[in-house]
A and B are shown apart, each in its own frame.
Chain A
Amino acid sequence: MASYSTNEFRSGLKIMIDGDPCAIIENEFVKPGKGQAFNRVRIRNLKTGRVLDKTFKSGESVDAADVIDTEMQYLYSDGEFWHFMDPQTYEQQAADAAAVGDAGQWLKAQDSCEVTLYNGSPIGVTPPNFVELEITDTDPGLKGDTAQGGTKPATLETGAVVKVPLFLEIGELVKVDTRSGEYMSRVKK
């Protein structure tokens, strides 16, 4: 199996820690002038999403994680699995709820998103930073309220609930930032 030495550590590198695939977020070289050198590394466990710190003696080697991020098209959910397709090879992948996580609420059929594969199976899904979705349910809009800053909850076609301005109506299209879950703007159909 491929491995990396600590001097190859950089953010984004995928390595195996305690049997789980992890991504390096930060790597700091710490060395007393005449003492042992260490690499202090902040990593994200790609299965659980947890962030933790690890210390290595500089020069140690760590197994590489067979992890790739691939652009795939979301097809549908059967209630248990979310199904994705590679638009080049037409190969399909099924991701469970643990792998999809919060991303599920932003996924609309045909949209493309990033699927993280570990040993060939999905362990994570990242939606596009911005999605455009239709409002399927919200309180009736209030005429003349465009200038005021109030908001109301609106349910979108994928099931996500976001706060939108009071004047928006069912059937309108909105642009949302999936990283913060915040409404960005109204989109003209």
Chain B
Amino acid sequence: MNWQPTAELDVIRQRARVYKQIRTFFNTRGCLEVDTPLLMPTTGTDINIASISVTGNNRVQYLQTSPEYAMKRLLAAGSGSIFQICHAFRQGEAGRLHNPEFSLLEWYRCGYDYHALMDEIELLVTTLSLSRCSFRRVGYRELFRQSLQLDIEAASLEELREQCSRRVPGTDASGFDIDQCLDLLLAMAIAPGLKGYLFVYDYPISQAALARANPNDGSVAERFELFHDGIELANGFSELTDAGQQRARFEQDNRARRERGLPQLEIDERLLAALESGIEDCAGVALGLDRLLMILLGLDSIDQVLTFRD
């Protein structure tokens, strides 16, 4: 029987070193460490993220796909800037870069917008790398223009589908919607060619998740992702703080879920009530710690940083 850890002991020590440095980084920068429940009665409604439900205690609860909702309730309660290191769970996500249970660093900065938060991420990653890192930023649309000579604003759905079949041979995109086309092109035609640390920002509003719309251009959301050599490492927003808009997005998610035959999810009324009570303007980001560790140590599979993958 193989009972041995999946990761080398040295990798396990490196993780401890990284966590310690992260805590020092935030403690010295006025950010409070918090610890929110992993098991809660409601969960994220995102159509592309499936929660693991747990029965017991005479009710259904969900292992959290991220600590976002709970952390926002703390923000509404006046916590000020906060960070958390925790596990998150996503059903069915397994592969070289995915495990259904993974580690996240999530933090929220009061008074920041998404670009100010990107600045802080650069500082954190540089600190953890123990070496100089260079970062670039590119708008989502501009990235498609540069990489594929494709103007996604001007392109019709038919053209996007045709691009999918052409750029990623063996793809039948005839049933894809716009966002599925963009996801495929970004993940399989663009990301494999990206080098170094790259922030991609201003995602289409249809992919806003919990980001606020860009006040200067309502067709995009103030959302960004950080990639390293094409591997997605972090996702962040200027947070949507308007309870009414937030409710509309939850309802939109549930409509999209119904169309795809996915389960309807109960809307987190506590989060909406917290937003209603008022929440400071802030920016927040979730960074995958397993992948960060892989990158810092030059490893190519998530298995190599997990204590056990039985």
Which residue numbers of A lie inside 8 Å of B, CB to CB?
A: 7, 28-38, 40, 52-55, 57-59
- A52 to B172 Cα, complex, angstroms: 14
Apart from A34-B46, A34-B48, A54-B170, 13 more pairs, CB < 8 Å: A7-B94, A29-B93, A29-B95, A33-B225, A33-B235, A34-B207, A35-B179, A35-B207, A36-B183, A38-B188, A40-B188, A52-B170, A53-B169
Q: Give every chain B residue within 8 A of A37 (Cβ-Cβ).
A: 48, 92-93
- A30 to B191 Cα, complex, angstroms: 11
Q: How far is the CB of A4 from chain B (nearest CB, A)?
A: 14
Contact B187 A38 (CB under 8 A): yes
Q: How far is the CB of A113 from chain B (nearest CB, A)?
A: 31
Contact B48 A55 (CB under 8 A): no
Interface residues of B in 68-96 (CB under 8 A from A): 92-96
Interchain Cβ contacts under 8 Å between A and B, 25 examples: A7-B92, A7-B94, A30-B95, A31-B48, A33-B225, A33-B232, A34-B46, A34-B48, A34-B209, A35-B48, A35-B182, A35-B183, A35-B207, A36-B183, A36-B184, A37-B48, A37-B93, A38-B183, A38-B187, A38-B188, A53-B170, A54-B170, A54-B171, A55-B170, A55-B184
Interface residues of B in 180-231 (CB under 8 A from A): 180, 182-184, 186-188, 207, 209, 225
- A31 to B94 Cα, complex, angstroms: 10
- A7 to B171 Cα, complex, angstroms: 18
Task: Choose one: B48, B98, B168, B172; the contact of A29 (CB below 8 Å).
Answer: B98
- A147 to B169 Cα, complex, angstroms: 52
B273 within 8 A of A: no
Contact A29 B96 (CB under 8 A): yes
Known: A31-B98, A33-B235, A36-B179. Is A55-B168 also a contact (CB below 8 A)?
yes
B299 within 8 A of A: no
B16 within 8 A of A: no
Q: Give every chain A residue within 8 A of B48 (Cβ-Cβ).
A: 31-32, 34-37
Among residues of B, the one whose C-beta sits closest to the C-beta of A33 is B235
Q: Give every chain B residue within 8 A of A59 (Cβ-Cβ).
A: 92
- A68 to B232 Cα, complex, angstroms: 40
Q: Give every chain A residue within 8 A of B209 (Cβ-Cβ).
A: 34
Among residues of A, the one whose C-beta sits closest to the C-beta of B210 is A34
B49 within 8 A of A: yes
- A36 to B95 Cα, complex, angstroms: 15
Among residues of B, the one whose C-beta sits closest to the C-beta of A59 is B92
